[in-house]
Amino acid sequence: MRTTLLDIPIEIVETIVENAFEWLVVVNQQGEIIYINKNYCDFLQVNRNDVIGMHVTDVIENSRMHIVAETGKEEIADLQYIRGNYMIANRIPIISNGEVVGAFGTVFFRDTQEWKKMNSHVKSMLAKIQTYIQDIDRSVKYGIEDILGESKEIRSLKEKVKMIAATDISVLIRGESGTGKELFAHSIHQLSNRSHQPFVKINCGAIPEHLLESELFGYEEGAFTGAKKGGKKGKFQLADGGTLFLDEIGDMPLNMQVKLLRALQEGEIESVGSTKTLSVDVRIIAATNRPLEKMMEEKRFREDLFYRINVIPFRIPAMRERMEDIPFLLEFFIKKITQRSGKRINHVEEEVLDVFNSYSWPGNIRELENVIEAAIHLTSNESITVDSLPDYIKDTSLYPLGKKKLKEILEETERKILQQSLNKYSDDKLAAAKVLGISKSTMYEKLKKYNLEN
């Protein structure tokens, strides 16, 4: 025998109604409350028995329940400001025998931040099954699940990505080469409301200065010698509605910085050879490993452009600042590389981890992956040993205990640190001295001592 709703005890029906929605209110055709669940009463700080029979506008601020009950027109996913927060609510008319007899309203997100967080969470889950979903934007190669690591810094950055992804705020991602800046840019786009729109990248440092303007803004037919027939769309036009990733923005020439700033401020571009302006809607994510503050002091980077792109700053930590992630990354890269190469690795010697933990990783996570790949191909068995590692890693990581005196080891280490500092700061001795916390004169003395003056 089939059971109907009428056969279910009233206590069960009440329990279902009470808990089916976090916040629920029902009004009659006159807009008077005939039911409101306990969760909603707790939030409003009212007694349920007191508000039953009251007009909904006397209980819930900015309510439109009485309007829906009167007009019979539903309102879906509407914003409503209640007690200091914007809520997202549904209001549905109740129809009986063809007539509107009331309405019920539910709040399914208590504030817009909760909605954004849930929106990002859902998109993050979709990314994990993107190989089974045909309409995922293939211009984005990476998602938040590709950001590897469990260190406090990485976990914090991943949460920050989820928090700001749904906005259209400009983001500036900073970090050394090889830290994964582009990966974060992809993740922000993938979790944003623009995720099904284009993600377009341009490397501002890899394109010659005289071509950068046409690459960014496009050109008209006949704009210059060699221009394609019919012209060409620029990156701004290609990214319209989506995200434009300006990689290595610190390498952009000053004259182009002016034109870029104008495009960002006005939301309009002008193709090379054209007199017409085009409106574009793009979200800007920029990235650089350059010291922009110092460049601004030296008038090599515009302050107004910096503040335009640096609304939400991201700093990606260097590998040496997240050494606790090395075992996790080691396991991941071994699995990835062995699957591709077909080689089996089932053990890593403890001494290898000691070497990795004592190395400074100037090439960051990219260098770590390259070293692991080299070690896998250099090992003659199924175990990665110190002998499997590239020579330069062993030479810079292991101290020759028992072979050299302490003074020699310290001097050798100091020389290597000085050399690494000069390499990192492009032989800028003053910058290297500042970072190392030594004076200009001390720096030059040590460079002379170790024959590093050139």
Whole-number percent of the chain with pLDDT over 90 = 43
Rounded Cα distance, 403 and 212, in Å: 55
* pLDDT at res. 136: 41
**How confident is the model over 185-204, as a mean pLDDT?**
91
* Planar angle of CA 219, 236, 295, nearest 5 degrees: 100
Residue 129 has pLDDT above 70, yes or no: no
- Provide the β-strand partners of residue 105: 25, 91
* Planar angle of CA 51, 52, 57, nearest 5 degrees: 60
Q: Model pTM?
A: 0.61
Which residues are within 8 A (CB) of 382 and not within 5 positions of it... i.e. 6 or more apart?
A: 344, 345, 346, 347
Q: Is there a contact between 284 and 170 (Cβ–Cβ < 8 Å)?
A: yes
* pLDDT at res. 415: 83
Q: Which parts of 129-253 fold into alpha helices (H)?
A: 152-164, 181-190, 209-217, 235-238
* pLDDT at res. 380: 83
Q: Is there a contact between 208 and 228 (Cβ–Cβ < 8 Å)?
A: no
Residue 351 has pLDDT above 60, yes or no: yes
User: Looking at 4-13, 171-180, 371-380, 426-435, which range is the least confident one?
Assistant: 4-13
- Provide the β-strand partners of residue 171: 285, 312
445: amino acid identity, one letter: E
**Cα 419–chain centre separation:** 34
Pairing of strands 383-384, 347-348: parallel
Residue 103 has pLDDT above 80, yes or no: yes
Residue 232 is encoded by which pair of tokens?
A: 């060409």
> What's the half-sphere exposure (Cβ side, CA atoms, 13 Å) at 373?
11
Residue 217 is encoded by which pair of tokens?
A: 């803004």
Residue 337 has pLDDT above 80, yes or no: yes
Rounded Cα distance, 343 and 337, in Å: 8
**Cα 400–chain centre separation:** 43
Q: Is there a contact between 271 and 278 (Cβ–Cβ < 8 Å)?
A: yes
Q: How confident is the model at residue 300 (pLDDT cuts 50, 70, 90)?
A: very high
Which residues are within 8 A (CB) of 241 and not within 5 positions of it... i.e. 6 or more apart?
A: 194, 197, 198, 281, 282
> How many C-beta atoms surround the C-beta of residue 8 within 10 A?
11
| Nearest to 184, CA basis, from 166, 150, 157 | 157
Q: How confident is the model at residue 138 (pLDDT cuts 50, 70, 90)?
A: very low
Q: What is the pLDDT of residues 13-35, one digit of tens each?
A: 677 767 666 788 999 999 999 99
Q: What is the pLDDT of residues 142-152, one digit of tens each?
A: 888 889 898 99
Residue 441 has pLDDT above 60, yes or no: yes
* pLDDT at res. 132: 42
37-41, 52-56, 162-166: which is most confident: 52-56
Average pLDDT, the chain: 84
- Provide the β-strand partners of residue 99: 96
**Cα 436–chain centre separation:** 31
- Provide the β-strand partners of residue 32: 55
* Planar angle of CA 316, 321, 322, nearest 5 degrees: 85
DSSP 362-426: TTHHHHHHHHHHHHHHH-SSSEE-GGGS-HHHHHHH---TTTS-HHHHHHHHHHHHHHHHHHHTT
* pLDDT at res. 395: 66
* pLDDT at res. 111: 52
* Residues belonging to the chain: 454
Residue 304 has pLDDT above 70, yes or no: yes
